Structure 1
Amino acid sequence: MPTVPLPDDPDLGQLRKQARDLQTNVRSGWMGSLDLVAELHPDGAPADPARWPLHAAQLVLARLYRFPSWPALVRHVGIVTEHRRVPDTAPPSDDPATEFLRRACLTFGAADGPLQASAAVVLAEHPGIARDDVWVAAARADVGEVARLLAADPGLAVREGGPHRWSPIAYLAFARHDPAPGRDAVVATARLLLEHGADPDTGYLWHGLPSPFTVLTGAFGGGEGGQPAHPHGPELARVLLEAGADPNDAQTLYNRMFTPADDHLELLLEFGLGRGAGGPWRRRLGAALDSPTEMLRQQLDWAVTHGLVARVALLAGHGVDVAAPLPGRYGVAQRPPYVVATTSGRFAVAELLERLGAAVELLPEERVIAAVLAGDRSAADDPDALALARAVRPGLVVWAAVAAGPEAVRLAVELGWDVSARARTDVPSEQGWETALHHAARQGDAELARLLLDLGADPGVRDGRFDATAADWAGHAGHPELLSDLGGARPER
């Protein structure tokens, strides 16, 4: 029986109920539960199921969720509960200071951007909130006011408050309001708070997820929603790192990996990214958080898959092994970086890896996949390898549309790949997320959409996550000009 990760945002009450339900099912003789117990309990299946105790059910449940004991699981849930914050759900407040802070700081929710831009309105209407509130003063990098307040009460440097129950240094790091404070004020405010005991590893768990949003995360910015960096992020990050912040910051690495800029990596590597035990957050969360080595492997995986040549070179230059197999996620097996690069159509990365001595021999089906993505018709030379390539990468048309271009798309269809197959578009995985036509619709790429339709793409196919057609995607993404081609109705004006 395979173990499973603990559900996001775990609730101890629900876990206790699961343990009681497991006990009930075992006492009732339900085979599924008895098999689970036989696999995960050190004593195996109970000799007398009718008398099976609750503590045994708790141990099995803990092991199912990859914890050695029920107390270890309870401890973990307690840590998550303590550090859990949900800034994107903070309601509007009648208190002007609270409302300013709610609007001023990144929430990593749908409102980011316009929300922070509106913070200035609150301050203009209530200028008095700029005094006597350490959290507002920190968000504004008002070093004089922060100094005055700390002189009167040094404990304010670590006191949680405001709409998110953050300490002042977190409001400083996540603030994005206009007008932005100056660099010298940001640096001085950070140093003042740190001198008075603020923790450079301060952070929170967004909705209880195990990757901490630390003050380094706030300084570096970025994210799936395109959240902006702090206006003086590198300077603020350096102050935090010099004060002892652990550079193995998983959320920073995730938030910033989507764009080619590497300034965050360069600074984190300078301070020891990839080394050490992982700092206070990994001590708290254990294996729920990647190790420093695993973090760098994930960064290399993304860089190779997405053709970020400079990032691959940077990581290689700092000792990251570019020959060892990459982690293998999303249903993709572990493979050497060179294989991943060539079968992802990232030929510039493959050339770099070859120069670094990390090239390996490709399997016949891998050579076919690489040839298709290169638009090379020699892909058809070996019928057996071609058939195997179609079997192992049935959704190749999707990735060809994302990473290779129209010639590769056309060649793949000519060689027998299904033009309406579903796969992922963020990574080369066969998980059935969406078709190439969905991708064209989201991107507003009329030329690609027409090519796919000419090749026989079915506009009626629905994606595997939202149960929507390509026309639905075009409408949602703001590309009404594609709707008639995709079989959708144009919105009335």
Structure 2
Amino acid sequence: MPVRRLPDNPSIEWLRKQAKTLLRRDSAALVAEFHPRPPQTLTLSDAQLVIARMYGFASWPRLKAHLDTVARHSRSPHLVEPADDLPAEFLRLACLTYGADYPGRTGEADRLLARHPDLATANVFTMAATGSAGALTDALADALAADPGLARAQGGPFGWEPLLYLAYARLTAPGDPVAAARLLLRCGADPNAGFLWEGLTSPFTALTGVFGGGEGDQPAHPHGPALARLLLEAGADPNDSQTLYNRGLGGSFSDDVSHLEVLLEFGLGTGTGGPWHRRLGPTIQSPRQLMREELATAALRGGPRRARLLLAHGAEVDGRGEHPAYGGRTPYELALLNGHTEVAEVLAAAGASADLPELDAFVAACMRADAAAVAAFGPEVLARALAAFPGLINRAAGLGKTEAVRLLAGLGFDVDHRQGSTPLHDAAWNDDVDTVRALIELGADPATTDTRFQATALGWAEHGGRHRVAAVLREAAHRREPSSGSG
């Protein structure tokens, strides 16, 4: 029986209840699998040991210590309320929070700083966020010279170290964040500084902040490349799982490999995983597994440059990612099923192969927009696919497969199919003008709302700053408005 993944931010009470349930039921199979010396009569301590080992921990005290570690490093920056204290409010607005980020938020911090320029040097945290070092001001250098311990102090609205405020700030005000970061590191700042967002055991590190990205498509730091290299040279571990997610599986996708190139240069996929791996143990993925996840992402989302780069650095061609989005598939299967022909060719050249079942082969043909191959399957397979995969057109739209969208609509797939969002929402969020135009031509209704926010595709585009698509959707909505006039 495989070790189970511990849920994010579990409580000790929940785990104790699991142990008591096991004690009452006395599950012999579970005890035999996870107890090193299965007793004839199970005690509560035995049940707790089984639960701990089931989640990958050697003992119940080790599991409890893990929960203490999570609690110690957990932060919820997106839940911090506005403050009357100006330095705290400035920092709250200036930094990415991954939950309360909205267009113009950091601009509010810029305006606050313009009205109160002394905020830049109010404390070590605002000095770090504004890059108050180097030629502009010696305030940060003076503060650290007086008290070097400030470089690792925790404070401000988020309870962060100064280096994190620097990495997550997105200000346009002039400053020298690279010089400020160098000064903080020289005075003892931790290059692996980070926090656990809501207890999520994928650390949001300084590197994570610098690289940006994520489900809200948060921007990278304006000095991102230089800051990332500085952090890595100072000892930041390149096996940064949240950076990889934010720039890969999470948010909009591009085949940009600049972040991977620098992480691979400094050892991504090798080593022990650094201090966060030591802290979080079996709940954090190994460097080897991170490489599997990245190759699976390249295959799922269509990144031939990523695939080539990862394979050249030792990624396993048939390694499976653990995230539910991969569905337990190999990278080659993912590339085929999502119509990423070039990625599939890269993987095949590296030795990958697959024998897809009939329905999967039909899906693959649809996603690569191979009309002749689709027709060869016949109406019975099409009927099964319509019943089994009604959201296939959503997938095609989200991946920018415009011709596949046209093919699927012609086969009877609903252009307004809602699985949370519609194909039009997914294409709009990606600022994919071609697919949005195709969907509108095929009859997609711009007035349809998603199920979570009750917003139209235009609402999504405006919220995400997708200005090109927003213009197309406004025009489409205008054309659909009933004309007024007297009869």
Is the TM-score greater than 0.5? yes
Aligned ranges 1:316-335 → 2 under 5 Å: 316-321=311-316, 323-327=317-321, 329-330=323-324, 333-335=327-329
Whole-angstrom CA distance in 2 between matches of 1:439 and 1:141: 37
Shift in CA distance, 388/193, structure 1 to aligned 2, threshold 3 Å: same
In the alignment, the residues of structure 2 paired with residue 378 and residue 90 of structure 1 have an alpha-carbon distance, to the nearest angstrom, of: 54
Matched, 1:168 2:158: no
Q: Give the SS at the match of 2:69.
A: helix
Equivalent position to 2:254, from 259, 265, 278: 259
The one-letter amino acid paired with 1:83 is: H
Give the alignment partner of residue 404 of structure 2, picking from 400, 408, 414.
Answer: 408
Which residue of 175, 184, 198 maps to 1:207? 198
Instruction: State the shift of 1:236 in Å.
Output: 1.1
Give structure 1 stretches of 5+ with no counterpart.
28-32, 423-431, 489-493
Measure how far apart 1:19 and its partner are: 2.2
Pairing of 1:268-287 with structure 2 (within 5 A): 268-287=263-282
User: Aligned residue for 2:466?
Assistant: none
In 2, the alpha carbon distance for the partners of 1:206 and 1:22 equals: 27
Q: Is the 8 A contact 2:121 2:132 kept in 1?
A: no
Match of 2:305 among 294, 306, 310: 310
In the other structure, the counterpart of 2:16 is 19
| 1:486/1:371 CA distance change after superposition, 3 Å | farther
Query: 1:80 and 2:77 equivalent?
Result: no
**Cross-structure match for 1:429:** none
Match of 1:396 among 392, 396, 404: 392
- Is contact 1:328–1:334 with CA below 8 Å preserved after alignment? yes
Aligned residue in 1 for 2:233 = 242
* Mapping of residues 377-456 of structure 1, within 5 Å: 377-383=372-378, 393=389, 395-403=391-399, 405=401, 407-409=403-405, 411-412=407-408, 433=420, 436=423, 439=426, 445=436, 447-449=438-440, 451=442
User: CA 1:377/1:401 → structure 2, altered by over 3 Å: closer, same or farther?
Assistant: farther
Please give the secondary structure, in 1, of the residue aligned with 2:324: coil
Equivalent residues of 1:328, 1:335 under 8 A apart: no
| 1:221 equivalent among 212, 222, 229 | 212
Instruction: Give the whole-Å Cα distance in 1 for the aligned partners of 2:22 and 2:344.
Output: 54
Instruction: Look up the SS of the partner of 1:124 in the other structure.
Output: helix
Q: How many residues align?
A: 454
Q: What amino acid sits opposite 2:11 in the alignment?
A: D
- The structure 1 residue matched to 2:85, chosen from 87, 95, 101, is 95
CA distance in 2, matches of 1:68, 1:273: 27
Corresponding position: 1:146 with 2:140 = yes
Distance in 2 (CA, whole Å) between partners of 1:133 and 1:329 is 41
Q: 1:251 and 1:318 mapped to 2: Cα distance?
A: 20
| Residue aligning to 1:119 | 109
- Over the matched positions of the two proteins, sequence identity in percent amounts to 45
Judge conservation of contact 1:169–1:193 (CA < 8 Å) in 2.
yes
Over 3 Å counting, the alpha-carbon distance change for 1:482 and 1:6 in structure 2 is farther
Change (3 A) 1:243 1:410: closer
Q: Structure 1 residues 482, 72: CA separation in 2 closer, same or farther (over 3 Å shift)?
A: farther
Asked if the contact 1:419/1:452 (under 8 Å) is kept, the reply is yes
Contact 2:296/2:330, CA 8 A, preserved across alignment: no
Aligned to 2:9: 9
Whether the 8 Å CA contact 2:255–2:304 is kept in 1: the answer is: no
Counterparts of 2:389 and 2:461, CA distance in 1: 28
1:106, 1:437 → 2: CA distance? 28
CA contact (8 A) 1:110 1:225 kept: no
Match of 1:159 among 153, 161, 181: 153
The answer (yes or no) to whether the contact 1:375–1:407 under 8 Å persists in 2 is no
2:178 is equivalent to residue 192 of structure 1: no
- The 8 Å contact of residues 406 and 451 in structure 1, kept in 2 or not, is answered as no
> Greater shift after overlay, 272-281 or 368-377?
368-377
Structure 2 distance, partners of 1:441, 1:369, is 23
User: What is aligned with 2:126?
Assistant: 136
CA distance in structure 2 between the aligned counterparts of 1:474 and 1:96, rounded to whole angstroms: 35
Is the Cα contact below 8 Å between 2:296 and 2:331 reproduced in 1? yes
- Conserved 8 A contact 1:138-1:189: yes
In 2: Cα distance, 1:114 partner to 1:404 partner: 28
Counterpart position of 2:470:
none
What is the identity, as a one-letter code, of the residue corresponding to 2:203?
Answer: P
User: Is the alpha carbon distance of 1:260 and 1:69 closer, same or farther for their aligned partners in structure 2, counting shifts above 3 Å?
Assistant: same
TM-score by length of 1: 0.79
Shift of 1:248: 0.5
- Contact between 1:112 and 1:227, CA under 8 Å: does it hold in 2? no
Aligned CA RMSD, in angstroms, stands at 3.7
CA shift for structure 1 position 96: 2.0
Query: Alpha carbons of 1:57 and 1:487: their partners in 2 closer, same or farther (altered >3 Å)?
Result: farther
Letter in 1 for 2:271: G
Q: CA deviation at 1:47?
A: 8.2
3-state SS, counterpart of residue 381 of structure 1: helix
The residue type paired with residue 19 of structure 1 is R
Deviation for aligned residue 1:338: 2.7
SS in 2 for 1:169: helix
